[in-house]
Amino acid sequence: MATALAESIRIVLIGNRNAGKSSLMNNIFEKDISIISSIPGTTTDPVTRQMEMGELGPVAITDTAGLDDEGSLGKKRVLKTMETAASSSINIFVTAINKTPTEEEKEIYKELVAQNIKTPFICVLTHNDKEENAEKLDFVLEAPKVKINNLTGEGSKELRELLIKQKDKISHEMTPVEGLVNEGDLVVLVTPIDLAAPKGRLIMPQVQTIRDLLDRDCASLVVKERELYPFYNNLINKPKLVITDSQAFHKVAADIPEDQLLTSFSILFARKKGDLEEFIRGIVNLKNTPEGVKILVMESCSHHRQADDIGTVKIPRLFRQLVQPNVEFDFTRALPSDEELEQYYMVIHCAGCMINRAKMMDRLKKVKNKGVYITNYGLFLGWVNGLLPRALEPFEDLYEEYREAFE
């Protein structure tokens, strides 16, 4: 089974049209992935493919539209390219070795250098079968670089080796139960199988949590919410932790002792993907929600919405019942523009299991910069079910911070 895109190291190819990005993509994979043409703008939307790359592990490489794309549609493509680059683990600046640097290249190169502390980048000089441009070589003098022959692929091996060397510079996501369990612990996972559950399989946060527990030499007991009570009470030893789907919070809490540590998959992923402290700040400000404001419910993946969908039905209903009845809800799967963000009081975001931490943190930064509060499905459902701060007890510092905020 392929590693999920959100868990792969993201590598993004950035450069002008006809810089050789698509040829580079094909040379890296040693097969035709992207369409190659001398016509500028052949690649319009990002094209992503996955592979294993030695010690770097599973990677997802994305070919993007050119930074010098033109027209109103071209500007949208450039924005998409920059959005993709903002959530990458490694950026590859692709430029033709035989051409003088353009203004677009100078601008993006300067930005990549500025971001290098957070996101490492590599320069790939393509068209190495042609005469070198002295100004271009001076332009990228200080960057780690590789020369690639688009026609023969010569230099591709050196590029893969250079990418692997970036391993220690990459910021890796924490795993779901990192710091919460020890070897030999038993953890109970409550996974409702309802209309929203994918047929024949578990959702990604549940699968990743099970795998993380196995990697840490722990045992997991996986039950549906209806079977929790009898199985829990038949256990000889008390579990270290109970992790539940957020929608079953209330029933699960009623079926286990009050001194049993409890949290949700969504809260684990709020910590893994984003900033749990920032999400808690959003919860603290629920009580201050004014009348008539707009709330944005944001998801990170596409799925078929059921009649009682959590994002579009349950959360708005509970919000109006328990927080503020007179509010307006919008729903999105993509981050709005800065101007559009300003109209919202709060964003309620899903667990983010289908995006990586870099993308989630980029979203958090943009939302926070606009003075908009943000929280997470799991924390919101924990709050409306009266399970905060209990669901934060596994995270001791945040648990105390939450209690102090509400005192």
CATH number for the domain that contains residue 336:
3.40.50.11410
- Could you tell me if 72 and 97 lie in one domain? yes
> Could you tell me the residue range of the domain that residue 339 belongs to?
274-384
Is the peptide bond preceding residue 389 cis, with omega within 30 degrees of 0?
Answer: yes
Query: Where is average pLDDT lowest: 35-44, 100-109, 201-210, 384-393?
Result: 35-44
For the sheet with 58-63, list strands across it. Answer: 47-52, 58-63, 9-14, 90-96, 121-126, 145-147
Instruction: Tell me what pLDDT residue 195 has.
Output: 55
**Does residue 121 have a pLDDT over 80?**
yes
- Could you tell me if 164 and 25 lie in one domain? yes
**Does residue 18 have a pLDDT over 90?**
no
- Could you tell me if 87 and 160 lie in one domain? yes
Instruction: Tell me what pLDDT residue 271 has.
Output: 93
Helix (H) or strand (E) holding 249: helix 249-255
For 130-144, the pLDDT digits (tens) are 999 999 999 888 889
Instruction: Tell me what pLDDT residue 65 has.
Output: 82
DSSP 174: P
**Does residue 108 have a pLDDT over 90?**
no
Instruction: Tell me what pLDDT residue 112 has.
Output: 86
- Could you tell me if 100 and 26 lie in one domain? yes
End-of-domain residue from the set 268, 286, 319: 268
More confident residue, 1 or 300: 300
pLDDT, the chain, mean: 87
Instruction: Flag whether 321 is in a domain.
Output: yes
Instruction: Flag whether 30 is in a domain.
Output: yes
Give me the CATH number covering residue 206: 3.40.50.11420
Instruction: Flag whether 392 is in a domain.
Output: no
Beta-carbon count within 10 A of 107 CB: 11
Six-digit token string for 164? 């692997």
- Could you tell me if 118 and 240 lie in one domain? no
Q: If you average pLDDT over residues 205-227, what whole number do you get?
A: 95
**Does residue 282 have a pLDDT over 70?**
yes
Cβ burial of 120 (10 Å; 0-12, 13-18, 19+) is: buried
Instruction: Flag whether 401 is in a domain.
Output: no
Q: How many domains does the chain have?
A: 3
- Could you tell me if 97 and 155 lie in one domain? yes
Instruction: Tell me what pLDDT residue 1 has.
Output: 47
- Could you tell me if 190 and 142 lie in one domain? no
Instruction: Flag whether 142 is in a domain.
Output: yes
**Does residue 43 have a pLDDT over 60?**
no
CA distance 156 to 128: 12
- Could you tell me if 137 and 213 lie in one domain? no
- Could you tell me if 371 and 249 lie in one domain? no
Query: Where is average pLDDT lowest: 17-21, 205-209, 328-332?
Result: 17-21
Q: If you average pLDDT over residues 228-256, what whole number do you get?
A: 95
Q: How confident is the model at residue 280 (pLDDT cuts 50, 70, 90)?
A: very high
β-pair partners for 242: 188, 262
Q: Angle 156-164/21-29 helices, nearest 10 degrees?
A: 80
- Could you tell me if 204 and 152 lie in one domain? no
CA distance 316 to 338: 23
- Could you tell me if 67 and 128 lie in one domain? yes
**Does residue 6 have a pLDDT over 50?**
yes
**Does residue 36 have a pLDDT over 60?**
no
Give me the CATH number covering residue 138: 3.40.50.300
End-of-domain residue from the set 169, 200, 227: 169
CB 296 within 8 A of CB 330: yes
**Does residue 400 have a pLDDT over 80?**
yes
Q: If you average pLDDT over residues 332-342, what whole number do you get?
A: 91
**Does residue 305 have a pLDDT over 70?**
no
Coil/strand/helix, residue 19: coil
End-of-domain residue from the set 136, 169, 202: 169
More confident residue, 392 or 203: 392
More confident residue, 118 or 336: 336
Instruction: Tell me what pLDDT residue 281 has.
Output: 93
Q: Please, what's the largest Cα pairwise distance for the chain?
A: 76
- Could you tell me if 44 and 160 lie in one domain? yes
**Does residue 286 have a pLDDT over 90?**
yes
Instruction: Flag whether 181 is in a domain.
Output: no
For 168-194, the pLDDT digits (tens) are 888 778 899 999 999 999 999 999 876
Instruction: Flag whether 176 is in a domain.
Output: no
Q: If you average pLDDT over residues 116-137, what whole number do you get?
A: 90
Instruction: Flag whether 403 is in a domain.
Output: no
Coil/strand/helix, residue 268: helix
Q: How confident is the model at residue 251 (pLDDT cuts 50, 70, 90)?
A: very high
The separation between CA 133 and the C-alpha centre of its own chain, rounded to angstroms, equals 39
